[in-house]
Structure formats: C-alpha cells, structure tokens
Amino acid sequence: MTIFSLTEDELRQRQSLKWRTYDPDVLPLWVAEMDTAVIPAVRRALEEALDNGDTGYPHGTGYADAYRATASSRWGLELASDQVRRGGDVMNAVLCVLEAVTNPGEGVVITAPVYRPFWQVTGGYRRRTVPVPLSPAGRLDLDALAEAFAADDVTAFLLCSPHNPTGTVHTAEELAAVAELCDANGVRLIVDEIHAWLVDPGTTFVPTLSVPAAQRAVVVVSAGKAWNLAAFKAGLYVAGRDAVDVLDALPPLAGQSTGHLGSIAHTAALRHGQEWVDQVCVEVAANKQLLSDLLHNLVPGARYTPQPGTYLAWVDCTELGLALPVRHFLETGRVAFSPGRDFSPAHAQFVRINLAASPALITRAVERMASSLRRQAA
Ligand SMILES: Cc1ncc(COP(=O)(O)O)c(C=O)c1O
C-alpha cells in the first residue's frame, strides 16, 4: 500500500483550501492538508452514519475513549476517564483553555517560529503574545523561557509538540524541565499535540502527560492532522492528573464546535487507523530524505535538515538572496509554500514545505524552484 499515490489530476478535483487558493498551474505544497484518499475505516463509519441519517449532535465519550485507548497502546500513557473531555477543534480548544486559565492583558509565551494561529489565539484575544525564539537547532531554549516566565504578568505557555513548523520532537527531559519552570513561576503549560502520531519511524513521541512533572499541564489534541480530517472538526481536552479542575473551569460552549460526524470520523481513525498512520510516517520520512537530496542537488543554497516530527519541512532560503523567497517561488516558479514570516516576523527568508504529497509532486516542486532561480539569474 502506498498512501501518497494520488495523481495531480485527481487532487485537482478537490475544493479545499490547499488545492483551490492558487491558479491551476501552481503546485500547492503549503497548508497542512495531506494528499491522501480518505482512510477506508473512516469512510465506512461516515457512510454508516449517513445511511442512518445520523446527523444530529454528538453524544457520549466514544472519541475520548478511543483517544485513551491509543494513548495507552501507542505511548503507554494511562489516562482516567475524567482527564479527557470532548473539545471543539484544536484551536478553539486552545482558546477555551486560555480563557479558563488566563485573564485579559496577561502574557502568554509561545516559541517562535510557530504555527500562525498561536499568535492569533493570544494577541487576537486580548492576551499579550510573548514570543521566545527556539534555539537555532529548533530546540526549546530553557534559559530564555525561564526569563520570560519570570515576568509577573506571564501566566501561560502554549507549546506545540511536535513542533510546527520546525518538526522538532521535544524530549522527556525538555518537557520535564519546561513543566518544572512553569510550576515554579505559576505559569500554566498548555500543549497542542495534534501532530503526536506524525513522527519518523524509530522516533518516539513523548506525550506531555507521560512526564511525571507535567501533571498540571493541559493538552489539546485531535485526529485531524494525522488522518487528514480537518473537514470534520473535532478535538479533545486532556488534563494532567493535577489539572482536571481546569476542565470544569472551561467557558460555556467549550465543546460546541465538535460535530457529530467529526466525532465519528476521528473515533474511527483512532480505533482503526494506527497502521495507516504508521505507513504515512514511513512515506513522509522517505519524502524528507527525497527533499533533502533534491535541494542538495538542484537548489544547494536552500538549507534543510530533516527533523523527525510532522510532515512539514522548514527550509532556510537566506543564501538564495531573494527579496521574499515564498513570493519568488510562487510568481516565478509556480509552486506554493507557506511563508516563513507567518510563523515569525524574523523568518521571512524561510519557507515551509508540506511533504504529505507524492514523491513525484515533491520532485516537480523542487525542479520548479531550481528553474525559477535559473530564470532569475538569466
Ligand atoms: C499545531 C497545530 N494546531 C492546530 C491545527 C489546526 O487544528 P484544528 O483545525 O483542529 O483547529 C494545526 C493545523 O495545521 C496545527 O498544525
């Protein structure tokens, strides 16, 4: 079974953001949608619901129970039923946790560069965004975090694990150190683990709540990214053993944006899609190596060091000497990547490349990068 095998013609039938934002001659390797067919178990579950006219409101703890089962079997993380609760989609869940644990005007630390909605869910909702740069190797900078946490008005740290866009997979030691720093400074640790399943073979994802020191953390998670189910909005809150009170303090409607079909789709993915996502990870790891080799040979000024997390590649184009790489590649190369500056103002020379695509498409994208640079030089 090869998962990333759909042709460009097939993919161009889609009406989603990735495939419809740009002109039809542009190759889209930007927003985090995967070029996969719907996983059969999810299709079956949705078809059954539709056959039954089962299109009402979600009920019960099926999604939460499925997550608890995968956390146990995949990561050895045992969660009690009162630790997991239905949320909205992940960013709405983050918003609700921030509403519960911080006050307007307070500072929320994020690690830059980071997924753009992290800036929006803080600064756009009356919190002060406190960006702390990752180290040049993409790791958490514990000294810089300690300094940021020491500010009186900083009350939360919103962490992405694994990290979007760098693909960093945080270690148990790093997570423990961060959790201890948070506790010492009265800062609530909130962790977005939507990319949890997406790590290269041989790499172990460390769930925050498997770290004994992190039991005051609140995790938000969903099957949306690993099984390409963004169309079916759903998500979960997962509280550490000493953070269950946060779930009771969530604002009204905190679970409202999960739809019943979303819940059904995500539950089926978690229950029946573990082998499927393992295969995704195998193909993504090969795509990372492919991108690295292609860039090395065709666009040597673009710096890319594969990282084990996510299906995203964070590529430094500084040496190419372009005013704005993402614009150059779009306008001259007809290939769309995510702009680095969306992830931090200091990273305009970076592009994020979505590798949840076929090797053929990735190859064509890099060939377009190379030919656009030749045209620029001519
Ligand atoms: C880190 C991270 N969190 C959240 C999301 C979006 O999740 P949702 O659609 O459930 O809000 C994404 C999507 O790419 C993401 O990368």
Q: Which of 91, 166, 222, 310 best tests ligand 1's pocket when mutated (most atoms within 8 Å of CB)?
A: 91
For 304-330, write each residue's pLDDT tens digit: 999 999 999 999 999 999 999 999 999
Q: Is residue 319 a contact partner of residue 301, using CB atoms and an 8 Å limit?
A: yes
Is the model's pLDDT at 82 over the cut of 80? yes
pLDDT at residue number 1: 81
Query: Cα 255 to chain center, whole Å?
Result: 20
Domains of the chain: 8-37+274-377 (3.90.1150.10), 43-272 (3.40.640.10)
- Ligand 1 centre distance from Cα of residue 115 (Å): 8
pLDDT at residue number 88: 86
In sequence order, which residues have a C-beta less than 8 Å from that of residue 51 and are 6 or more positions away?
A: none
pLDDT at residue number 174: 98
For 327-337, write each residue's pLDDT tens digit: 999 999 999 99
For 347-378, write each residue's pLDDT tens digit: 999 999 999 999 999 999 999 999 999 988 87
For 206-225, write each residue's pLDDT tens digit: 999 999 999 999 999 999 99
- List, in sequence order, every residue forming a beta bridge with 156; answer none if it has no partner: 108, 188
Q: Is residue 99 a contact partner of residue 251, using CB atoms and an 8 Å limit?
A: yes
Whether the full predicted model's pTM is greater than 0.85, yes or no, is: yes
Q: Which of 17, 164, 343 best tests ligand 1's pocket when mutated (most atoms within 8 Å of CB)?
A: 164
Place of tokens 């679970």: 255
Q: Which amino acid is at 329?
A: F
What are residue 11's phi and psi, to 5 degrees?
Answer: -65, -30
- Ligand 1 centre distance from Cα of residue 310 (Å): 12
Segment 182-202 mean pLDDT: 98
Rounded Cα distance, 176 and 53, in Å: 47
Q: Is residue 251 a contact partner of residue 100, using CB atoms and an 8 Å limit?
A: yes
Q: Which of 67, 90, 158, 227 best tests ligand 1's pocket when mutated (most atoms within 8 Å of CB)?
A: 90
- Ligand 1 centre distance from Cα of residue 135 (Å): 23
Which numbered atom of ligand 1 lies nearest the CA of 160? 1
What are residue 10's phi and psi, to 5 degrees?
Answer: -65, -45
- Ligand 1 centre distance from Cα of residue 3 (Å): 21
Rounded Cα distance, 221 and 229, in Å: 13
Number of CB atoms found within 10 A of residue 47's CB? 10
Q: Is residue 143 a contact partner of residue 132, using CB atoms and an 8 Å limit?
A: no
Nearest CA to ligand 1 atom 2: 194
Q: Is residue 106 a contact partner of residue 99, using CB atoms and an 8 Å limit?
A: no
pLDDT at residue number 378: 77
Tokens matching residue 194: 């939507």
For 130-157, write each residue's pLDDT tens digit: 999 999 999 999 999 999 999 999 999 9
- Ligand 1 centre distance from Cα of residue 262 (Å): 15
Rounded Cα distance, 222 and 237, in Å: 9
- Ligand 1 centre distance from Cα of residue 87 (Å): 13
Segment 86-111 mean pLDDT: 97
Rounded Cα distance, 326 and 322, in Å: 9
